Amino acid sequence: MKEKVGAPFRLREQASFCTRLLALTKRSFVNMHRDIGYYWMRFAVFTACTCVGTVYHQIDNIYNSIQTRCNVMMYMTIFLTTMAIGGFPSFVQDIKLFRRERLSGHYGVNEFVISNTVSATPYLAVMIIIPGTVLYYLTGLTRGAGNVAYFVTTLYTCNILVESMMMVIAVVVPDFLMGVIVVGTGVQGMMMLNGGFFHLPSSLPKPVWKYPCYYISLHKYAVQGLYKNEFAGQTFASDQLVMANATITGHQVLEALQVEMWYSKWVNVAILFGMAVVYRMMFFAIVKVAEKLRAKAWGVKCGI
């Protein structure tokens, strides 16, 4: 009896990089939409935060308002960046899922990092642009489309930066309580303290706190950029605390705040964006190295 020979078995080719990236981006986008803890809860909190605009409603353009304007800008920067830790638990779950699927060879580190970045972008934009614009007009900060755009862009870039930093922390310290409360909050607290608002740069102790902590603090570049956006080209009328008919210019305010004036405010945004890219690259490198070490450890275990 003649033996039947079937068609030779051919392994199905693995999907291309673009196909895997699109599929993973779509899945990540849907997961972020369904998980209210990822962005929707923070969006609700940010929207409620616009009540700050009623506390500082339509700030006067007088000498006393200078400190108030600084307080509003620093508060928004601190509040929005600190709330970025709200998505930490959901991202930790994504990391765990990635590690399981990575063992099966479904996709690599490149696809995971790029898809997470792309899918998060529109949510961050909605979460920042709407509350940020409302708050800006309620407080009566310097009017102008360019000023509003810069304010929102800075807050948006700060959130991307902090999320990138929290991604690194999530890989290194995957435990929620340890990662968020101890490491994440501690790092941000150190950056706030050395950002030049609570303590002027010239008053910071030079070892450690000014070099290098002051220059790697995201709040330094965020707040100084917002100061330039708010005070450059402005004048403030005197009140009962200074002599009559006197005015103070925005340039004098910036000098008193020790703002670095030798570069544009948009350079501040570029520096923040560059820091975000560096943190993403650190995240990519750590995950890549961790996966290689895990694969080697698994190979040694199987060999034994």
Confirm whether 2 is domain-assigned: no
* Residue 222 belongs to domain spanning: 17-295
Confirm whether 111 is domain-assigned: yes
Q: Band of the pLDDT at 8, cuts 50, 70, 90? A: very low
Confirm whether 150 is domain-assigned: yes
> Is 122's pLDDT higher than 70?
yes
> Is 291's pLDDT higher than 90?
no
Confirm whether 6 is domain-assigned: no
The number of angstroms, rounded, from the C-alpha of 23 to the middle of its chain's C-alpha atoms is 25
Query: What is the count of structural domains for the chain?
Result: 1
Confirm whether 301 is domain-assigned: no
Residue 260 makes CB contacts below 8 A (sequence gap 6+) with 224
Confirm whether 72 is domain-assigned: yes
State the pLDDT at residue 144.
Answer: 87
> How many Cα atoms are found within 13 Å in the side-chain-facing hemisphere of 192?
17
Confirm whether 83 is domain-assigned: yes
State the pLDDT at residue 155.
Answer: 93
> Is 131's pLDDT higher than 50?
yes
Confirm whether 268 is domain-assigned: yes
Counting residues of the chain whose pLDDT is more than 90, the rounded percentage is: 30
State the pLDDT at residue 301.
Answer: 56
Q: How far is CA 104 from CA 27, 99, 107, 156, 195, in A?
A: 18, 9, 8, 36, 44
State the pLDDT at residue 47.
Answer: 84
The number of angstroms, rounded, from the C-alpha of 211 to the middle of its chain's C-alpha atoms is 23
State the pLDDT at residue 9.
Answer: 40
Helix axes 218-231, 145-172, angle to 10 degrees: 170
> How many Cα atoms are found within 13 Å in the side-chain-facing hemisphere of 23?
9
State the pLDDT at residue 262.
Answer: 92
The predicted-structure confidence for 157-195, as pLDDT tens digits, reads as follows 999 999 899 888 888 886 766 666 678 888 888 898 888
| Pick from 222, 205, 181: nearest CA to 74 | 222
> Is 6's pLDDT higher than 70?
no
Lowest-confidence segment of 127-136, 142-151, 292-301 by average pLDDT: 292-301
